[in-house]
């Protein structure tokens, strides 16, 4: 079964509009894991717009204390601040994302032709502090091959184009690109994750098309659905969608 990692960034975004600490990122992570989520994802940025350094440490402590089998996935562009956090908490997975400091949200995969030389030594450093390194990629065969050459352990397919097409009733037109990239990654010995704009509607088709998908990281839609269903019930619904 594809594993579910719940991204709690949006909980931190709401919390940061006040100084009361409400809602609690740690409580949200605990609820998600108690409901059956396999892990927690955070994406700290240098501007601390949502996840802040203390959140990274607080969740690490939660997982070590209460959920030692859960995965901790820390996403981010490997700026010095990101590297320092990874070195401090040693997460299960480091997912490198090419978001610029002023980016609204992640909006593309790595261009490894241009950035590979920068990433290669960073991947080697990160492997000393996490179990595996994943690179956020568009479903482009050339980029998948380069990810393997750079020493990545996994790729995370950037699924916004698929999600947008699915919302128009055209998801089937995008799926072959994702399937081809995922199969190539598997053949090269890479694990395959996916994330960005995945939701209860588009997730089942993706998992059916890529049954060996290792993990999905979902935040925005899942937290939005939690406003209607509650967080624990929402996690259960996403887990059910992954089993379809």
Split into its structural domains, the chain has a count of 1
pLDDT value at position 36? 98
Residues with catalytic function: 43, 75, 196
pLDDT value at position 109? 96
pLDDT value at position 47? 92
pLDDT value at position 99? 84
Expressed as residue numbers, the domain containing 78 is 3-242
Domain CATH number, residue 169:
3.20.20.70
State the Cα–Cα distance between residues 98 and 184, nearest whole angstrom. 22
- The DSSP symbol for 23 reads S
pLDDT value at position 171? 96
pLDDT value at position 149? 98
Taking 50 as the pLDDT cut, the residues of the chain under it are none
pTM: 0.96
Tokens for 5? Answer: 């990692």
Helices 220-229 + 231-242 axis angle, to 10 = 120
* Dihedral pair phi/psi, residue 7, rounded to 5°: -85, 120
Mean pLDDT of the chain: 96
Helices 112-126 + 80-89 axis angle, to 10 = 30
pLDDT value at position 102? 64
pLDDT value at position 104? 60
- CA torsion 202-131-98-57 (nearest 10°) is 90
């Amino acid at each position: 079964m594809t594993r579910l990692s719940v991204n709690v960034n949006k909980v931190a975004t709401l919390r940061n509009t006040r100084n009361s600490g409400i809602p609690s990122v740690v409580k949200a992570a605990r609820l998600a894991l108690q409901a059956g989520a396999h892990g927690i994802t955070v994406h700290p940025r240098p501007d601390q717009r949502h996840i802040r350094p203390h959140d990274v440490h607080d969740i690490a402590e939660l997982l070590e204390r209460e959920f030692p089998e859960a995965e901790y996935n820390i996403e981010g562009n490997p700026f010095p601040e990101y590297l320092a956090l990874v070195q401090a908490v040693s997460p299960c997975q480091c997912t490198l994302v090419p978001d610029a400091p002023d980016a609204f949200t992640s909006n593309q995969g790595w261009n490894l032709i241009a950035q590979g030389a920068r990433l290669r030594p960073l991947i080697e450093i990160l492997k000393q502090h996490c179990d595996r390194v994943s690179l956020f990629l568009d479903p482009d065969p050339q980029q998948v091959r380069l990810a393997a050459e750079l020493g990545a352990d996994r790729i995370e397919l950037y699924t916004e184009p698929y999600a947008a097409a699915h919302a128009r009733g055209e998801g089937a037109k995008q799926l072959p690109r994702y399937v081809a990239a995922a199969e190539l990654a598997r053949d090269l010995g890479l694990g395959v994750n996916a994330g960005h704009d995945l939701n209860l509607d588009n997730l089942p088709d993706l998992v059916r098309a890529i049954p060996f998908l290792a993990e999905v990281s979902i935040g925005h839609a899942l937290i939005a659905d939690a406003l209607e269903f509650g967080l624990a019930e929402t996690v259960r619904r996403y887990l059910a969608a992954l089993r379809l």
